Amino acid sequence: MIDAHFAEHADVLAATRKIVAQPFARLVAACRDALAKGGKILFFGNGGSAADAQHLAAELVVRYRTERPAMAAIALTTDTSILTACANDYSFDAVFARQVEALARPGDVAIGISTSGKSPNVLRALEAARRLGVVAAGFTGGDGGAMRDLCDPVLVVPSRTVARIQEMHILVGHALCDALETGAD
């Protein structure tokens, strides 16, 4: 079984590497521009993608590998009072959009993470970001779902296996943190 997991990971890794280079470069540029102008990066997703959102925001606020000034990043998945109040008073589909409306400003970057590209609350937040002049970016998988047309840039992992998509998301997320921290391309 372990050999099958490693083989599938290697195949998805090779395929992902080929197709994410250009959107990744655009994402790095958008994030650098936002941070240089005093803006922020907002991450959000559900389940494992929520954990990735928190992980990547922490890498930027605290540090990834080197000592440097803190970078403005936030995971919209961490405030249980906001999440539960919004889900109760509006709907679960609004939990991220409402926070984007409150916290995002033109020039910021909103990074929605959804392995399917079809999560309604992620899509609504990305739509809100676009309305506000915020860069609506995404990490997704499979065929990209609705995120393919909603995000620019969008990094689509060419797999339908959730575990492999999540592995690529955290790899690309770490590469983003590295690029922002070091200035490398």
pLDDT level of residue 183 (50, 70, 90 thresholds): confident
Cβ–Cβ < 8 Å for 44, 110: yes
pLDDT at 185 over 90: no
The tens digit of pLDDT for each residue in 49-65 reads 999 999 999 999 999 99
pLDDT at 129: 98
Mean pLDDT of 109-113: 98
Structural domain boundaries enclosing 147:
2-182
* Structural domains of the chain, count: 1
pTM for the whole thing? 0.97
Q: Can you give the CATH number for the domain in which 134 is found?
A: 3.40.50.10490
**3-class SS string, the chain:** CHHHHHHHHHHHHHHHHHHHHHHHHHHHHHHHHHHHCCCCEEEEECCHHHHHHHHHHHHHHCCCCCCCCCCCEEECCCCHHHHHHHHHHCCHHHHHHHHHHHHCCCCCEEEEECCCCCCHHHHHHHHHHHHHCCEEEEEEECCCCCHHHHCCCEEEECCCCHHHHHHHHHHHHHHHHHHHHHCCC
Q: Where on the phi/psi map is residue 118: left (φ > 0), alpha (ψ -120 to 50), or beta?
A: alpha
